[in-house]
Amino acid sequence: MNETNENRDFDNLLEHIKRTRGFDFTGYKRASLLRRVSKRVQEVGIRTFSKYQDYLEAQLSQGAATLDYLRPPRPGTGSAHLPH
């Protein structure tokens, strides 16, 4: 996959998470977020962001797990902030 397609697929994945989970990664550093998402995608055995988006759509429970994985820990707690 070329870099342009990868960037588009990454943006589409972030938009999917925003639309389906209500979490907006706009304030996050792109390079750091890209690294974290890439690691998560590899951990579940998927090769591309678009296939990972398909995976999230098919495995609804993975959406919450993905957010937990991607969010930085709350200061002093070591756990991710979850919406109410």
The domain ranges of the chain are 3-17+30-70
Percent of the chain with pLDDT over 70: 69
Confidence of residue 81 (pLDDT cuts 50, 70, 90): very low
Residue 4 identity (one-letter amino acid):
T
Cα distance between residue 54 and residue 67, in whole Å: 16
What is the enclosing helix (H) or strand (E) of 69? helix 61-70
For residue 47, what are its two tokens? 């090769």
Q: What is the reported pTM? A: 0.71
Q: What's residue 65's pLDDT?
A: 64
Residue 56 identity (one-letter amino acid):
L
Convert the pLDDT of each residue in 44-69 to its tens digit: 899 999 999 998 888 766 666 666 66
Q: What's residue 5's pLDDT?
A: 92
Q: At what angle do helices 49-58 and 3-21 cross, to 10 degrees?
A: 20
